[in-house]
Amino acid sequence: MLIVKKFGGTSVANAERILNVANRLVESYKEGNKIVVVLSAQGDTTDDLIKKANEINSNASKREMDMLLSTGEQQSVALMAMAIQKLGYPAVSLNAFQCDIYSNSTYGNARIKSISTERISEELDKNNIVIITGFQGINRGGNVTTLGRGGSDTSAVALAAILNADLCEIYTDVDGVYTSDPRIVKKARKLSEISYDEMLELASLGAKVLHNRSVELAKKYNVNLVVRSSLTREEGTIVKEESTVEKMLVNGVAVDKDISRIALVGLKDQPGIAFNVFSLLAKNKISVDIILQSIGREDKKDISFTVSTADLNPALEVIEKNKNRFNYEKLLHDDKVAKVSIVGAGMATNSGVASTMFEALYDENINIKMISTSEIKISVLVTEKDAERAANAIHEKFRLDEIK
Ligand code: ADP
Ligand code: ASP
Ligand code: MG
């Protein structure tokens, strides 16, 4: 079998963990498998590098940020190759340049465009365990890019797709995908399977166990994807086309604390205002999530919306620069908010799901600031300090801890 195995930061955090992973890799290699390994930076390396950059220039260019952040992954792959070689087995580490992982030029959030399999196949043919940097890409101009926080998952799935691997295993610090973040909801239950669509929603709504783009790619190329623990031997969660085992009304609860709310108060109530505001943000590559527009009063109205917290300051800046165009009375913002969402394919055909969710929040006396719904998810915006209580209450209300 050809298997792509990805290990996250916690799984390679120190020498002992690296040796533990090396042993597991060798075990699988000895079973006759061809192995491609994708690694993240060790532990908090990426965060530490960001801090280092901020000490020098808090407004550093995105190109240089990527040049810096991509080094974390390069350390991991070299160390892993050394660990495997020490165990007496052949291994080689490669970075994005060495296996031509081409991406677009959106520094900090680049998308993979193509990967050449030549070098990787060559190394596999030499019987090497091939260890590749996650998170890294290169653009056509020959610069290093990174794929966005959590992007090593996407590197792994992209490699599995292009190499036509039999399996892509994502090893992490939990033993699978749960009905909610097990660190927040103690009663969260491990799912044996989840569909690509449901996983994609969960990932997009803040469940960082898988990078959302990795799930998109897995669906597109039908990659056999498993999430499992690097520390235990538990069976993981299979992410696949249709989940037949558990077809539930609500499959999971996701919490996203990395969002902020912006409100433009006292805008003129006339056609084109929303278009102008949101096209300006789009032009500046700022994605907007939940949007709320108030009912007009005396030819005035308010528009509020959420952005990721990383985009808060850039969004405020461009809006302020265009103050004259929009003619608002006040520009407000709040970064102490969180989005709590429920996801489930069964929701589309069932009414009453939203009211059950709102009842759970009412029982806990938690105020809802904004609501957004789609066929398979409902999200509410709450005060950040209420987020964990909200997630637990909703999880309890839908009895997600019980196997249906
Ligand atoms: P890695 O470094 O291995 O990529 P991450 O920290 O990116 O690991 O992702 C794993 C974390 O995702 C877990 O520690 C857990 O707290 C969080 N998480 C959020 N939602 C879920 C969920 N539904 N199921 C499992 N883990 C989740
Ligand atoms: N090291 C990167 C990060 O911390 C990528 C990853 O871990 O997937 O976001
Ligand atoms: Mg991750």
pLDDT means per 10 residues, the chain with 404 residues, are 97 97 97 98 98 93 97 98 98 97 95 97 98 98 97 98 98 96 96 92 94 97 97 94 68 95 93 92 92 86 94 94 91 97 82 91 96 91 97 96 81
**What pLDDT was estimated at residue 404?**
66
CA of 211 to the centre of ligand 3 (A): 6
- Domain locations in the chain as residue ranges: 2-173
Cα of 32 vs its chain's centroid, Å: 32
User: What atom of ligand 1 comes closest to residue 253's alpha carbon?
Assistant: 23
Pocket test for ligand 1, best of 184, 209, 246, 377 (most atoms within 8 A of CB): 209
Taking the CA of 6 as reference, the closest ligand is 1
Pocket test for ligand 1, best of 44, 174, 215 (most atoms within 8 A of CB): 174
**Cβ(135) – ligand 1 distance below 6 Å:** no
| H or E element in which residue 47 lies | helix 45-56
pTM, to two decimals: 0.93
Q: Report the candidate in 59, 149, 399 with the shortest Cα–Cα distance to residue 250.
A: 399
**What pLDDT was estimated at residue 73?**
98
**What pLDDT was estimated at residue 248?**
67
Long-range contacts of 15-19 (CB under 8 A, 24+ apart): 15/79, 17/230, 18/76, 18/79, 18/80, 18/83, 19/83
**Cβ(214) – ligand 1 distance below 6 Å:** no
**What pLDDT was estimated at residue 244?**
59
**What pLDDT was estimated at residue 346?**
76
Pocket test for ligand 2, best of 66, 135, 153 (most atoms within 8 A of CB): 135
- Per the CB < 8 A criterion, the answer to whether 111 and 104 are in contact is yes
Who lines ligand 2 at CB under 6 A? 8-9, 40-41, 46, 72, 134-135, 149-152
CA of 42 to the centre of ligand 2 (A): 9
**What pLDDT was estimated at residue 372?**
92
User: What atom of ligand 1 comes closest to residue 179's alpha carbon?
Assistant: 23
CATH superfamily of this structure's domain 2-173: Acetylglutamate kinase-like (3.40.1160.10)
User: What atom of ligand 1 comes closest to residue 8's alpha carbon?
Assistant: 3
**What pLDDT was estimated at residue 33?**
98
126 C-beta neighbours (distance < 10 Å), count: 10
- Per the CB < 8 A criterion, the answer to whether 177 and 239 are in contact is yes
Distance CA 14, CA 142 (A): 31
CA of 178 to the centre of ligand 1 (A): 9
DSSP string, 332-389: EEEEEEEEEEEE-GGGGG-SSHHHHHHHHHHHTTPPP-EEEEETTEEEEEEEGGGHHH
CA of 37 to the centre of ligand 1 (A): 19
Ordered alpha helix ranges (H), 182-293: 196-204, 212-220, 273-283
Q: Give 190's DSSP letter.
A: B
- Per the CB < 8 A criterion, the answer to whether 229 and 271 are in contact is no
